[in-house]
């Protein structure tokens, strides 16, 4: 049983996979490959065509937009993901972004290192507290719920939530205010956090009109998928100071230079949200165990979960 591993996984997870399967890292013998574990590569029809005996695709994480699930079903290739395992790490990244934006952390470090700031606590770098502010979540899944707990309990923030799946009872259980529309969240929040999967409904969900609905003092945080935001519209909004700032761990094209990186009120990081030792081990172990069980014909829950 051979498994193609597209990118590195946690060393413990790798050792487990190696003990039960043959790991291959190229397509020199494509007919041997029965399983594939992907983190970031596109698994489309063209790739499946190269692997005639592929039976299982394991997604190393929760996002499923890189795998053509419809094509896989046509070929009777089973697909699974590893949801909820990286929620704590991504939630902490959201909070980190909010703090970094609020205190001009990146600009302060750069200016101080470059000696363009020669005084202590300059007024140009005056920040603001999170405490008492309003944060709005668009998408209220596992990651958002983790972040809500930190921000509501730790920073005493007022929390708004908007999601097709969020009913009043669920909002009450989380101790947050349920918004009826996307624009309710955008117009009322000091911080807007995107916690959504990428699909036909969310592609370019945030565009010029949505950015114009935000407060001029508000910050936008995206740890989901780059294509959820119209990046050209966001560039204009940031350049013209229509919003105060933004932070994104994701871009529409990755890895790729973006002119967003040149803006002083924008923070861009290379998809680090789930890149912690703890999250990688949880995701890797679950993904590998599922792959081993599947290849040994043991039943697993193959439903892809968002």
pLDDT in tens, 249-274: 999 999 889 999 999 999 999 999 99
CA gap 176, 228 in Å, rounded? 24
The pairing of strands 22-24 and 219-222 is: unpaired
Sheet holding 191-194, edge to edge: 177-178, 158-162, 134-138, 191-194, 219-222, 245-248, 266-268
Q: Could you give all domains of the chain from N- to C-terminal order, each with its CATH number?
A: 2-85+276-295 (3.40.50.720), 87-268 (3.40.50.720)
CA gap 198, 224 in Å, rounded? 8
Q: How many other β-carbons are positioned within 10 Å of the β-carbon of residue 285?
A: 18
Indicate the pTM of the whole model.
Answer: 0.90
Residue that has been written with the tokens 């590195």 in this structure? 8
CA gap 277, 284 in Å, rounded? 10
CA gap 305, 64 in Å, rounded? 9
CA 16 to chain centre: 26
By annotation, the residues acting in catalysis are 225, 254, 271
Bridge partners of residue 177, in order along the sequence: 160
**What do you get for the CA distance between the two ends of the chain, in Å?**
29
Least confidently predicted of 119-128, 133-142, 199-208? 119-128
At 115, the pLDDT band (50, 70, 90 cuts) reads: confident
CA gap 204, 199 in Å, rounded? 10
Bridge partners of residue 57, in order along the sequence: 36, 79
Bridge partners of residue 159, in order along the sequence: 135
pLDDT in tens, 185-215: 999 999 999 999 999 999 999 999 999 999 9
């Amino acid at each position: 049983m051979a498994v193609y591993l597209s990118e590195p996984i946690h060393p413990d997870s790798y050792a487990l996979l190696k003990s039960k399967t043959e790991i291959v890292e190229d397509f020199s013998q494509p007919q041997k490959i029965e399983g594939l574990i992907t983190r970031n590569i596109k698994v489309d029809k063209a790739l499946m065509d190269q692997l005639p005996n592929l039976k299982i695709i394991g997604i190393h994480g929760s996002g499923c937009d890189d795998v053509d699930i419809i094509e896989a079903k046509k070929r009777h290739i089973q697909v699974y993901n590893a949801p909820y395992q990286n929620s704590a790490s991504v939630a902490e990244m959201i909070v980190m972004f909010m703090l970094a934006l609020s205190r001009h952390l990146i600009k302060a470090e750069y200016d101080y290192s470059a000696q363009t700031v020669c005084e202590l606590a300059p007024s140009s770098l005056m920040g603001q507290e999170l405490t008492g502010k309003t944060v709005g979540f668009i998408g209220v899944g596992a990651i958002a719920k983790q972040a809500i707990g930190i921000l509501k309990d730790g920073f005493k923030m007022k929390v708004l939530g908007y999601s097709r799946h969020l009913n009043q009872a669920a909002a009450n259980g989380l101790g947050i205010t349920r918004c009826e529309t996307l624009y309710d969240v955008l117009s009322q929040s000091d911080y807007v956090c995107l916690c959504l999967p990428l699909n036909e409904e969310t592609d370019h969900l945030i565009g010029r009109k949505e950015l114009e609905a935000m407060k001029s003092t508000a910050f936008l945080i995206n740890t989901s998928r780059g294509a959820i935001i119209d990046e050209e519209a966001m560039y204009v909004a940031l350049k013209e100071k229509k919003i105060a700032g933004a932070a994104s761990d994701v871009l529409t094209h990755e890895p790729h230079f973006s002119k967003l990186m040149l803006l002083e009120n924008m923070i861009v990081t290379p998809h680090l949200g789930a890149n912690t030792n703890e999250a990688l081990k949880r995701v890797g172990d679950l993904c590998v165990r599922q792959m081993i069980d599947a290849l040994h014909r043991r039943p697993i829950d193959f439903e892809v979960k968002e």
